[in-house]
Chain A
Amino acid sequence: MVSVLELIEKTDEQLAAEAAREVSDGPAFNALVGRHQERVWRVCFRIMGNEHDASDAAQEVFVALFQRRAAFAGKSKFGTWLYAIAVRTCLGLRRARGRRRKYEMESAQQKGQEHASVTRESAGQALDLAQMLETLDEEDRAMLLLKYSEEYNYEELADVFHLSVSACKMRVSRAREELQSRFPDHDL
């Protein structure tokens, strides 16, 4: 029987190796869920945009973690590997709900046009930044959210999105420019 103290002292990578040997959701797996629950929740909430969808996504993430627990090769940090799963799961769920997103995107663009003549201050209040971000490509949106909401650095983004650091910098910069060109009245 593994004691709680033993589990606390172990690194994520050691726990992941133990979880891979567990037949079901055993103590090592549960310890990993407990350790990363908060951050996975934050990533899911940022990307999904509301509590209900974020909760659904977080559950999916941990089920995916369980199913792929043996696939963790230890090439990157366990946390980074898990957050990459979280991002991919969220993006997958959002794509699956594409119709709703398309509707939201259209309404955001409509609002953007309506507000084009309004002054910067009042428009900034009226048009929600979240809706502006909805107009971006899913991955670009997620990248901007992690960069600016969760303050990920480019190295972390590169690990999560499986890109090079320079590619990440370029994508963030382009996404920002794209957003700025779509909403010229806002200081992004």
Chain B
Amino acid sequence: MPPGLLETLAERGVPPVPEELNERVHQRLNRALVVGQLIDLAVGGLPFVAVRFFRAIVHFIESTFTGRFESDRGDRTREAP
């Protein structure tokens, strides 16, 4: 019995791996890494910086009006000189 058409599929050749494939993979990977790091920065880094900055301003205003400020290094509440 002659082979069916599907059995002839294996005879169809596959071209060799493109030479530039490896380079393109790394280019794409680099882009993916940069995007990932930017997302990390946007999601984690920037809010952290914003919160720290906002807290500093709040403390500044607070110490301006009350004359007292809290130290980050401990739980001591200091009197402004």
Residues in chain A within 8 A of chain B (CB atoms): 24-25, 33-34, 37-38, 41-42, 45-46, 51, 55, 58-60, 62-63, 66-67, 124, 129, 132, 144-145, 148-151, 176, 179, 186-188
Contact = CB atoms under 8 A, between A and B. Distances in A.
Interface residues of B, number: 22
B8 A63 contact: no
Contact of B17 (A37, A124, A144): A37
B76 interface: no
Contacts of A41: 14, 17-18, 21
A188 B14 contact: no
A109 B4 CA distance: 20
Contacts, number: 67
B32 A67 contact: yes
Interface of B: 2, 4-10, 12, 14-15, 17-18, 21-22, 24-26, 28-29, 32-33
28 contacts: A24-B33, A25-B26, A33-B25, A37-B22, A41-B21, A42-B14, A46-B14, A55-B18, A55-B21, A55-B24, A59-B24, A59-B28, A62-B25, A62-B28, A62-B29, A63-B32, A66-B29, A129-B5, A132-B5, A148-B10, A149-B9, A150-B10, A176-B6, A187-B2, A187-B5, A188-B4, A188-B5, A188-B6
A33 B24 contact: no
